[in-house]
Structure 1
Amino acid sequence: MTPAVIHAASYRLDGHDPALKKTLEAAVNNLSAIVKWSFLQTGVLFLLQLLENWLEEKEVFFASFITKAVGVAWNLVTFLMLPVIMLEHNGIIRGVERSWQLFKKSWGEQVVGTVGFDLQGLIIFIPFTIAAIMLAVTMDTLQAGIYTFLGGIGLMQVISSGLHGVWQAALYHYALSKQSPADFIENDFSTAFKSKLIRHRR
């Protein structure tokens, strides 16, 4: 879903109305690279888990923190990988290099914006959790609560995936031009970055 959203959002940011046919064609044309990227991501996560287990066996302090820090760094560096695949039609190796280049141009905006979208997903999830607990208590059955909880998780995943796709497309355009896309409020990106710098200096 995310690759299709990225392509449609990018098309809209370029001033065109996204077409379902072109979006699906773009996803199909880049399917091989998308699948390879998914396998690479899974492989990286697996290797990080192996590394964490090995460090814990060696009784290395902060083993979990070390591997999670590496994982966060990897996710940040490759955050624009899907836009690079969908919009530049790059392969995996060149795509990682290109994503790293774009990351260096927009790392501040990327971090601030990604955290913001994650918080929005959490806000969407909270009401479903409360509703699930209330249903389970008032109806004296776990089934209704479980269904509501699972429905909330599914909805959160769909909305979060869509929001991340739009954000990745917008950030990709911003990294290229250093200008806020037309459909975003002027200074949305630069203001977020400046506020981050101000907090850091304090």
Structure 2
Amino acid sequence: MLSADKELMLFPALSAVMLVLVTVAFALPIFLTENAAGMLEGVGSYVVAFLFYLVSYFVIFFCNSALVGAAMIRLRGGDPTVADGFRIAGSKVGTIFGYALIAATVGMVLRALQERAGFIGKIIIGLIGMAWNLATFLVVPVLVTEDVSPVDAVKRSMALLKKTWGEQVIGGFSLGAITGLATFLLILVFVPMIILAVSAGSPVLIGLVIGGFVLSLLLLSLVNATLSGIYTAALYRYAAEGDVSQGFEAGMVEGAFRPKD
């Protein structure tokens, strides 16, 4: 799919650029304000953090919705464009914002609890966060495909996971593991090259090698993010429609999650 629709990588790329802009937009006023320390204390810190979470989550979910929407068109035999993805996400902008509001609230609550918890409490809250991430795994394709509210999208995601893979599940097939291996291989390739460049004493060569390493990592990150969106769309189709999408082996979707031991 990615080889047929390389433009799908534009969605995570745009998401990353927008997140940088959001971070700058929040950081600059704070650093340029004389009373910046006061803004980041007490209730003010939570207000700023919540707004940052809300805007960041909205950007992420909007671009992910565009990616998944375009991927769904391809999985159903169509030929999507970038405009198709943004059109789909734009038609769901209110629902996406509502889900971003829910996610930001959950994130803030977990953060506040973690700041006050001890060592064991932090572990428990971390597990709760993992459970939330699992329960909402299919929320974006649900929002894109079905006409439901943000709360119902969370419920629907949980119901699809339970119906398809069981009540108590953990991750099975992982794109993250593949990306981790690819990152390790990049390190094996570029670290000796960097050492050789430093030994040669050429600033230009050092810059080129380091630049190539950074660009390779960025490209790998974009590919991983795009494949994750495509994979999520395929898992939704399998869970909601019982269809193993073309190009996917049955084991990739059936083994996406497995029962807890």
Per the normalisation by structure 2, the TM-score is: 0.62
Decide whether aligned partners of structure 1 residues 62 and 111 sit closer, same or farther in structure 2, where only a CA change above 3 A counts: same
Separation (CA, whole Å) in 2 of partners of 1:35 and 1:145: 41
1:112 matches 2:176: no
Q: How does 1:103-182 map to 2 (within 5 A)?
A: 103-107=161-165, 111-113=171-173, 116-140=174-198, 147-182=211-246
Separation (CA, whole Å) in 2 of partners of 1:177 and 1:37: 23
SS of 1:163 mapped into structure 2: helix
- Whether the 8 Å contact between 1:133 and 1:145 is mirrored in structure 2 is no
One-letter amino acid of the counterpart of residue 225, structure 2: S
1:11 matches 2:69: no
Structure 1 residue 163: deviation in Å?
Answer: 1.1
1:45 matches 2:107: yes
Superposed CA RMSD in Å reads: 2.9
One-letter amino acid of the counterpart of residue 34, structure 1: I
The aligned length equals 191
1:184 matches 2:248: yes
Structure 1 residue 49: deviation in Å?
Answer: 2.3
One-letter amino acid of the counterpart of residue 149, structure 2: G
* Equivalent in the alignment of 1:83: 141
Per the normalisation by structure 1, the TM-score is: 0.78
Separation (CA, whole Å) in 1 of partners of 2:93 and 2:221: 21
Identical-pair percentage: 24
Greater shift in the superposed pair: 74-83 or 1-10: 1-10
- Whether the 8 Å contact between 2:65 and 2:144 is mirrored in structure 1 is yes
Greater shift in the superposed pair: 74-83 or 100-109: 100-109
Separation (CA, whole Å) in 2 of partners of 1:63 and 1:149: 39
* Equivalent in the alignment of 2:57: none
Separation (CA, whole Å) in 2 of partners of 1:162 and 1:54: 36
Q: How does 1:12-27 map to 2 (within 5 A)?
A: 12-27=74-89
- Whether the 8 Å contact between 1:129 and 1:152 is mirrored in structure 2 is no
* Equivalent in the alignment of 2:122: 64
Greater shift in the superposed pair: 119-128 or 135-144: 135-144
